[in-house]
Structure 1
């Protein structure tokens, strides 16, 4: 089996990833080869799929990342979360008014209760500015 050569990650990138995670209130973060700063945040809410209670990370995690950091400090920044169907429009408006592009709104599951929608967004931005805008946009989700 071939080994993947680990790319050296600069102390600056590590520090930025730590700050990105703290700003978002991340419960976990890691740096993937690339480098990609990947942050997850657990969101607790009551939901069921096919009549069974779920606490799956596939349902409860919010995911955020940044990569391709340029010399001006801007990067490709991405986000994703589940929300209740009646929260989707508000979240989309919150993101858009902060200059973030919403790229998808869709469901993942059938027969879930309450109805869950997944929203994805993207921006080329300073990662910390993106983290602040995202945190402000999702704050009402709890």
Structure 2
């Protein structure tokens, strides 16, 4: 039996991750934004497209496990420390890539996933993110 995320579970997921949560299409979505000053093509940007951190979970199974997904913007020097911390916690890194050209500093994006109870995922991510600079 599968059930959609409940509002109280989504709120706790968001609280642990330090973001704002909402349920969109039956999926708990948490978003927050990093405080990194980027320029693209020499222009300062505060666009949510450049500085995001997104987390989601959906469809709890009868054991309380869900598909958990995450994405964060990173500085280049944060990639290996975060990758190491997420792997230590059995979270799968699925992509590391850029989105923009001619940005300063270099903005990289990491995607990651797991199937486990959402609050466990949130706690693991919060712990792993301690290696980030801001």
Q: TM-score, normalised by structure 1?
A: 0.88
Choose which of 82, 85, 93 in structure 2 pairs with 1:91.
82
1:3-55: CA deviation from partner (whole Å, max 9, x where unpaired): xxxxxx87x711110100000001x211012x200000121111111111110
Match of residue 28 from structure 2:
37
Q: 1:140: how far off? A: 2.6
SS in 1 for 2:131: helix
1:22 aligns with 2:12: no
Choose which of 98, 104, 115 in structure 2 pairs with 1:107.
98
Where in structure 1 do 4 or more consecutive aligned residues deviate above 3 Å?
none
How big is the alpha-carbon RMSD for the aligned residues of Structure 1 and Structure 2?
1.4
Match of residue 73 from structure 2:
82
Matched residue count: 131
Q: TM-score, normalised by structure 2?
A: 0.93
* Matches of 1:107 and 1:43, distance apart in 2: 16
Higher helix share: 1
Choose which of 38, 41, 55 in structure 2 pairs with 1:47.
38
* Matches of 2:46 and 2:128, distance apart in 1: 23
